[in-house]
Structure 1
Amino acid sequence: MDTDTTTATPTGGPVDAGTYDVLRRRLGDRAAELARRAEALNARRTEEFGSTELRLTGTEQIRTEQASVPRDLVAVGGRLLFGFERGPGATGTAEVSDVLALYGPELDAPVAGGPPADEDFVREFTALHRYYRDARLLRLRRVDGKLLAVFRTGESADGIRVLRWALAADGSPGAFLDARGDRDHVFPPSHDFTWTVAGRESHVAGRHPHIAVGGDGDGSRAVLFVDTLGGTLTVKTENDTDTPHGIYEEPVTEPLQSLADAEVEHATIGPLVLLRVRPYNEESWRHLVFNSLLGTVLRLDGIGPACHRLPEDQGIIFPGGYYLTTGTAKTFDIAEPLSAPLFEGAVRSPNGEDVLYVFRSPDDGRSLLLPYNLIRQEVATPLQGRGHALLDDGTLVLLRTTPTADEPARVHQVQRWHTPYVSDTHAASRPASDGPLARVGNADLVRGISDCLALAHGATETTPTAAVYARLVADCVRATDRYHWLTDPELGTLADPLAELRATAEQVLTEFETVRELTRQAADALAEATENITALVRRSRGEVPRTAAEWVDRLTELRRAHGHVTTLAEMRYADTERVAELSADTAADIEAVARRAVSFLSRDDAFAGYHEDIA
């Protein structure tokens, strides 16, 4: 076989198939240079605008006059409103001070005068505890310029009563409004996308039928094909009903079910296709993520309760983990996972580099905070607590979750964290400069640096596929068009390595098709040689030659096949390990046949045929 197959570059010149390896190395060099310049610019940006590091600055305590169970913590006007529940041994009518306490930012002692308690509030508070003997504070919230105090009035989580105040411009509580805050006590959608139900119009008939999903949402131009037949949940990328197998398979509980028995829903988020499947006779939904760039499927049931897109189409985030379009998946080993978590909201830092995703359990009020960094594309430290308060200077006060948190106590543990989530007014109070970084702005620099680093990492760390290279080219074009300052010499001229990365990626994409064809040819040749040798070995073991000439022919055929296998290792992109393994097995088979031939030739009548021919 001719291994010097050539192809053409985008400029039309011939390129040897081995050029793919050279182009891959060149792509890595261009990516490394782009990453180096982007990281250098990011270091300058951090020095100019300040660090965004999330770090623990201390562990402190909140003290209450009576033993109580902590419930929540919220920042109001630069101070901290602490909500708690009276201990089970408390007697007498509940007072406001038995449920709420206002502290200064240092948490040293309650502020004189306590929480806002005008006559209207005291009246509603007293009536609440008079008519609902089991009333207890569930949580505190700031929503749309209002402060909410949510009380549970019974055993059910649906039985609530919400007192509310108006918040002043500085965030401090103003006038008490009423006890009808349940209309404000709502949460954002748990998913920022819509699940599309795959109906019967998406069913594809055949020997092994399946359901077409993806594409335009109606099954047209589908990218995935799903079924739960034959005892297996199967995901395919080819519309092939002749085979039951796909790129992903896992068992189902009920093997006997029809195509229409399973419930299938899907959503497309950039290059990701999310699947929501409930096979017949099963209570729980299964959640899968298909990456169209890599052609891989991963089961992530954590996206079921809540799931949101990450900024800049970097992937998705859900309670307890995240998944990036690069294929990176991270789930955190959380000691006490949230029960039926809800998405409470997201807090963006003014620099645009960090986003804090907040999830909350409606049953016990525990919260999970996931601080995501766009440049590093990671959640550094998941934080768990009973509640948290975010001050204007970015200080995060976290009410800790401990094994004894549900037991009444007078001392309650809190953590103080330094975060980048400062208020807009606090960020605006920082002195401004007139340098090249200030002219562009921190937020735009963050997005540009994040995109450049993502391109650099994607070029070298992602499994190479045609879709990956095509996306790399498109993203290079998009970054060039979006960020005008990439050509600025004062900012490192990131446009130069970016343009080289794009040009090299285009060449690699062209060459990748050639390599894929050569790989297929090498695999076909190896499969053909394996089939031929298997047939020869089976024949040599099942059919005993009757003459010396037949033994010689049999050995000659095996040696010829062995020699052909050895030459396959010289083909480009051949599976050399499999070739070596097949060559060793064939050599062992030749040796076994040779021993049997020697045993036959040692017999007195071994050459009887030759004697007859001579006579």
Structure 2
Amino acid sequence: MSDQPKAPAQLESGTYEILRNRLRGHGDDLRSRLNQLNSSRKEVFGSIDLKLLNTERVTTEHNCVPRDMVAFGNKFLFGYNVYFGLKTERNISDVFAIYTFDEESHTFQEGSLATLQDARFQKDFQDVYRYYKDATFAKFFVNGPHLYFVFQVGKNANDFKAFKWLIRGDELQYLDNRSDHEVKNPPQHEFEWKRTTRDSQRHGAHPHVSIEDRLFVETVGGDLTIKIENNTNSGEGIYAEPVDDPDQTLDDAEIYYAIVGSLILLKIRPYQESKWRYILYNEKLEKAQRLDAIQDACVLLPDDHGLIFANGYYLQTGEQKVFDTSIQGLNFERRIISPNGEDTLFVFYQPEQGAYVLLGYNVISQSVETPIICHGFTMFHGGQMTLFKAHH
């Protein structure tokens, strides 16, 4: 069972409504003042809004499927896949193209592939297609001064070969093909999941598991229930949803949790169920909600503002938004922070589709712009971003 939090017993309902409306009014006034202050700040110090500067079509010699792009110096390296049927030998020009970027006209001019004409790389490149019949170019990976060309060599995106290069201004220096282990994503959850134990159990007529005495969880009696009171005499809580097996005991469910400020995250798998359930509880608001979007990746926003995941965000204040991106299985790849620290671009990547989802968060407005979905992107000096989308 579940019910909504009630107003304090000592307050008349009318008094409670007056106080709540008064606090809401003060909150609205404070937000308005902050917006005015932010507008004045932008006038004094300047601000660069995200806007489209130019659109251009990149034409290749053969029909191709674009996979990724990267900038080094003022050059732009484009990677794609061309399918030649029974042809097993590939040329470097069948997979890569280099363009120079003109910042004033925002246009690209096709350039030479000379920087990729390293004899060792040409041999390693040919060997990939010779020994792996399903080899395809997957993506570029940048780690400090090093650039990796990643090729998928099996049916799984985790089966890959990586070619390591050193970025030297406008040129690339080939290093080796033995650096697969250096291509890896950061932790997908920037907090530690802790597993509950029997020491956390509280027994009684309606037993439950204590989450550091701040929240109480159980999956007995036919439903998963979240309580905010350590009361085993009652099975009522603030949130409940049914479980598949109504006869399970307190020991049967797997329960993990993580605490991020006033947010308590729960990762629960009831007895004999195949899927994990993810629930977020906000202590300030005393509200719980299902949030399976954090399953694959969930990282922290700047200044302890809250959480961001591949299709949305949740702030400590309770403000939240979920975008309909229709892309599943996204991994967190990296964050790009603006020089003044005001904006952060969170990069998520779907390896099978080669799709990126870019979420830009502003610490002043505490909001996320509409997601940018693309099949490759790169940043140039000066804050300009170039991205492309496959034309179907």
Task: Quote the Cα distance in structure 1 between the aligned partners of 2:23 and 2:134.
Answer: 70
- Distance change >3 Å, CA 19–CA 189, structure 1 → 2: closer
Task: Quote the Cα distance in structure 2 between the aligned partners of 1:134 and 1:60.
Answer: 31
Residue in 1 aligned with 2:260?
A: 269
Residue 394 (1) aligns with residue 383 (2): yes
Contact 1:227 1:233 in 2 (8 A): yes
Residue in 1 aligned with 2:7?
A: none
Higher helix share: 1
Residue in 1 aligned with 2:160?
A: 160
Secondary structure of the 1:312 match is helix
Contact 2:222 2:246 in 1 (8 A): yes
Residue in 1 aligned with 2:349?
A: 360
- Distance change >3 Å, CA 77–CA 35, structure 1 → 2: same
Q: Deviations over 1:456-492 (max 9, x none)?
A: xxxxxxxxxxxxxxxxxxxxxxxxxxxxxxxxxxxxx
Task: Quote the Cα distance in structure 2 between the aligned partners of 1:176 and 1:39.
Answer: 50
Percent identity of the aligned residues?
38
Residue in 2 aligned with 1:182?
A: 180
Secondary structure of the 2:124 match is helix
The CA deviation at 1:29 is 5.1
Contact 1:101 1:115 in 2 (8 A): no
Contact 1:147 1:173 in 2 (8 A): no
Residue 74 (1) aligns with residue 65 (2): no
Q: Deviations over 1:279-311 (max 9, x none)?
A: 111111110110000100011100011101111
Contact 1:101 1:114 in 2 (8 A): no
Secondary structure of the 1:151 match is strand
Secondary structure of the 2:89 match is coil
Residue in 2 aligned with 1:578?
A: none
Question: What is the correspondence of 1:192-341 to structure 2 with a 5 Å cutoff?
Answer: 192-213=190-211, 215=212, 222-334=213-325, 336-338=326-328, 340-341=329-330
- Distance change >3 Å, CA 283–CA 22, structure 1 → 2: closer
Residue 96 (1) aligns with residue 92 (2): yes
Q: Give the TM-score normalised by structure 1.
A: 0.58
Task: Quote the Cα distance in structure 1 between the aligned partners of 2:52 and 2:298.
Answer: 27
Q: Deviations over 1:115-154 (max 9, x none)?
A: 5222221121122222223221011111121000001112
Secondary structure of the 2:240 match is strand
Contact 1:102 1:115 in 2 (8 A): no
Task: Quote the Cα distance in structure 1 between the aligned partners of 2:182 and 2:255.
Answer: 34
Aligned length: 377
The amino acid of 2:227's aligned partner reads K
Task: Quote the Cα distance in structure 2 between the aligned partners of 1:23 and 1:250.
Answer: 29
Secondary structure of the 1:287 match is strand
Task: Quote the Cα distance in structure 2 between the aligned partners of 1:23 and 1:357.
Answer: 36
Residue in 2 aligned with 1:148?
A: 148
The CA deviation at 1:272 is 0.3
Task: Quote the Cα distance in structure 2 between the aligned partners of 1:94 and 1:30.
Answer: 63
The CA deviation at 1:314 is 1.3
Residue in 1 aligned with 2:6?
A: none
- Distance change >3 Å, CA 20–CA 242, structure 1 → 2: closer
Question: What is the correspondence of 1:443-592 to structure 2 with a 5 Å cutoff?
Answer: none
Task: Quote the Cα distance in structure 2 between the aligned partners of 1:59 and 1:114.
Answer: 27
Residue in 2 aligned with 1:498?
A: none
Residue 58 (1) aligns with residue 47 (2): no
Q: Deviations over 1:321-347 (max 9, x none)?
A: 11111212211111x313x22110101
Secondary structure of the 2:67 match is strand
Task: Quote the Cα distance in structure 1 between the aligned partners of 2:113 and 2:338.
Answer: 33
- Distance change >3 Å, CA 292–CA 98, structure 1 → 2: same
Secondary structure of the 1:275 match is strand
The amino acid of 2:345's aligned partner reads L
- Distance change >3 Å, CA 61–CA 372, structure 1 → 2: same
Q: Deviations over 1:31-58 (max 9, x none)?
A: 72x5455434322322333323122233
Residue in 1 aligned with 2:5?
A: none
The amino acid of 1:59's aligned partner reads T
Higher strand share: 2
Residue in 2 aligned with 1:342?
A: 331
Contact 2:65 2:390 in 1 (8 A): no
The amino acid of 1:375's aligned partner reads I
Q: Give the TM-score normalised by structure 2.
A: 0.90
Task: Quote the Cα distance in structure 1 between the aligned partners of 2:274 and 2:16.
Answer: 53
Q: Deviations over 1:372-402 (max 9, x none)?
A: 1112211111011111111112222222155
Contact 1:166 1:174 in 2 (8 A): yes
The amino acid of 2:384's aligned partner reads T
Task: Quote the Cα distance in structure 1 between the aligned partners of 2:255 and 2:27.
Answer: 43
Name which structure has the greater RCO, CA cutoff 8 Å, separation 6+. 1
- Distance change >3 Å, CA 258–CA 37, structure 1 → 2: closer
In the alignment, structure 1 segments of 5+ residues that lack a partner are 1-5, 8-16, 216-221, 405-615
Task: Quote the Cα distance in structure 1 between the aligned partners of 2:121 and 2:107.
Answer: 25
The CA deviation at 1:208 is 0.8
- Distance change >3 Å, CA 176–CA 381, structure 1 → 2: same
Task: Quote the Cα distance in structure 2 between the aligned partners of 1:26 and 1:273.
Answer: 25
The CA deviation at 1:77 is 1.2
- Distance change >3 Å, CA 249–CA 265, structure 1 → 2: same
Residue 377 (1) aligns with residue 366 (2): yes
Secondary structure of the 2:317 match is coil
Residue in 2 aligned with 1:606?
A: none
The CA deviation at 1:88 is 4.0
The amino acid of 2:63's aligned partner reads A
Task: Quote the Cα distance in structure 2 between the aligned partners of 1:136 and 1:109.
Answer: 26
Contact 1:102 1:114 in 2 (8 A): no
- Distance change >3 Å, CA 22–CA 121, structure 1 → 2: closer
Contact 2:375 2:390 in 1 (8 A): yes
Q: Deviations over 1:508-545 (max 9, x none)?
A: xxxxxxxxxxxxxxxxxxxxxxxxxxxxxxxxxxxxxx
Residue in 2 aligned with 1:47?
A: 43
- The alignment's C-alpha RMSD in Å is 2.4
Q: Deviations over 1:547-592 (max 9, x none)?
A: xxxxxxxxxxxxxxxxxxxxxxxxxxxxxxxxxxxxxxxxxxxxxx
The CA deviation at 1:255 is 1.1
Task: Quote the Cα distance in structure 1 between the aligned partners of 2:154 and 2:17.
Answer: 68
Residue in 2 aligned with 1:487?
A: none
